[in-house]
Amino acid sequence: MTMEPEPPTALDDEVRQLLQEGEKIAAIKLVRERRQLGLKDGGGSRGCMTVLLCLTMVVAVVYADDPFHAERNAALAQVASVEQAYAERLGPNGAEWRARIKTEEPALRETLDWFMRNAEGDQALRLAVPLAYFWSYEGRGIEARELLTKVLALPSAAAPTAIRAKALYEVGDYDESLRIYRRVQDKAGIATALLGLSRLALRDMDYTSARRDAEESGVIRRELGDKAGQAGAVQMLAAVARMQGQYGKAAELYEFSLNANREAGWDVPVATDLFNLGYVRLRQGKIDVARTLFAESLQKYRELDDDAGVAYVLTGFASIAVEQKQALRAARLYASALVILDQFGLSLDPDDQLDVDHYTAKLLTLLPPDAFKAASAEGRTTSSERAIALALAP
C-alpha cells in the first residue's frame, strides 16, 4: 500500500508551527522524514517540491538566527571587498583603496583571525593575499611575508588550490606556485608564476632563462586575450634587452607595454613604463626626451600617492644631473631616493640598479670623496617635497 503525499499546505503549516515554537530540530527532522517517505513511495514532483520549499524555509530561519553563519557571511563580504580593492589596485582608484584598507585594518585582522580559528584556510588566504600586498605597498614587507607564511602553514590551507598558489607566488616560491597552477590548469596563474621565475632569473643575470619564461608567459596571456597581462611579460623582455645594452629593442618593447597599460587604465604600470623608458632614452643620449618621460612618471606617481615610485624616478633625475655634470645635485637626489626606498624596505630592480651603478660611477669622477659624502648627507635629510623640487628645477 502506498500513501499519498500530504498537500503542500499541510506540510507547510506543520513546519511553520514547529518553527514558531522554536522547535528547529523537530522541523528539520519532519522535513527529512517526509523526504524519505516521498522517496520510498515514489512521491511525485509536487511532493518533492513541497519538501524542497520547506527545507529552504527551515534553512533560512535557522541561519538567520545562527551567529556562526551571520559572522561567516559578514566575513565573506569583507573578503569580497578586499578582493575588489586588489583587482583595482593598479588603476586610478588605487590610492583610495589603499586608504580604505588601512582604515579597516583592525576589522580585517579580526576577520582573518576568525577564518583561521574556524579552519577556513582558503578564505583566510583570499583575505591574506591582498592584505599582504597593501602592507607591502606601505613598506611593511616583512610583516606581509610573515602573515602569508603563517596562513600558508594552516592545515586547512594545505590543499593545492589557485589561491594557495597565489600566496606562494607572493612569498617568492615561484616553482611551487607554478606546479600548483599547472595542476589546477589555471592558465592566468601559470603566466603569473612564469613571470616571477623570469624576474628571479633576471636578478641572477640568467638572461636565457629570464627571456624563456617571460616569452612563455606572454604567449599564454596573448592566447587568453589579456593584452595588459601580456604587457607584463613584454616589460620583462624589455628589461632583459636593457640590461644587455640593446636599447633600441628595449625602447620598442617598453612602448608596447606602455600603450597596453594605458589602454587598460592601469596607472601604476604606466608610471613604471614611463620611468623605464626614460632610462633607456637617457642611455641613448636623448636627455630632453628622458627628462620629459621622468617628469610624466613623477606626476603619475604623485597622483597615485606612491612615495616609492617617486623615489625610483628621483634616481632618473639624478642620472640626468650626472650627464649634465651637475654633480652636487645628482649626489643629493641619489641619497634622497635611497632613503625613501630604505623606509619601504625596497631595493632597485636589477635593470634600474645597473643604470644607477653606471651613472654613480660617472658621478664619482666628478666629485672628490669629501664633497660626495657631504652632498649625500644633505640629500638623506632632505624632505621628499624638496627633493622633487630639486629634481624639477631647471
Residues 254-274 have pLDDT tens digits of 999 999 999 999 999 999 999
Q: How many other CB atoms are there within 10 angstroms of residue 324's CB atom?
A: 12
Q: How confident is the model at residue 137 (pLDDT cuts 50, 70, 90)?
A: confident
pLDDT at position 23, please?
A: 57
C-alpha cell, 375: 652632498
Helix (H, G, I), strand (E, B) or coil at 41: coil
Q: How confident is the model at residue 30 (pLDDT cuts 50, 70, 90)?
A: low
pLDDT at 56 over 70: no
What is the Cα–Cα distance from 98 to 117, expressed in whole angstroms? 27
Residue type (1 letter), 102: K
Sequence-ordered list of residues with C-beta below 8 angstroms from that of 3, at least 6 positions apart, any chain: 37, 41
Is the CB of residue 232 less than 8 Å from the CB of residue 342? Answer: no
pLDDT at position 41, please?
A: 40
pLDDT at position 37, please?
A: 52
pLDDT at position 20, please?
A: 59
pLDDT at position 356, please?
A: 97
Average per-residue pLDDT for the chain: 88
Percent of all residues in the chain with a pLDDT value above 90, rounded to a whole number: 76
pLDDT at position 65, please?
A: 55
Among 69, 70, 93, 92, residue whose Cα is nearest residue 81: 93
C-alpha cell, 8: 503542500
pLDDT at position 45, please?
A: 36
pTM: 0.79
Residues 292-347 have pLDDT tens digits of 999 999 999 999 999 999 999 999 999 999 999 999 999 999 999 999 999 998 99
Residue type (1 letter), 260: A
What is the Cα–Cα distance from 214 to 218, expressed in whole angstroms? 6
Residues 356-376 have pLDDT tens digits of 999 999 999 999 999 999 999
Q: How confident is the model at residue 101 (pLDDT cuts 50, 70, 90)?
A: very high
Residues 104-122 have pLDDT tens digits of 999 999 999 999 999 999 9
What is the Cα–Cα distance from 130 to 151, expressed in whole angstroms? 13
Is the CB of residue 100 less than 8 Å from the CB of residue 85? Answer: yes
Backbone phi, then psi, for 368, in 5-degree steps?
-70, 155
Number of H helices, E strands in the chain: 21, 0
> What one-character-per-residue DSSP string does 327-369 give?
HHHHHHHHHHHHHHHHHTT----HHHHHHHHHHHHHHHTTS-H
Among 209, 187, 189, residue whose Cα is nearest residue 197: 209
pLDDT at 22 over 50: yes
Rg (CA), the chain: 29
Q: How confident is the model at residue 352 (pLDDT cuts 50, 70, 90)?
A: very high
- Domain residue extents for the chain: 8-65, 68-86+94-170, 289-394
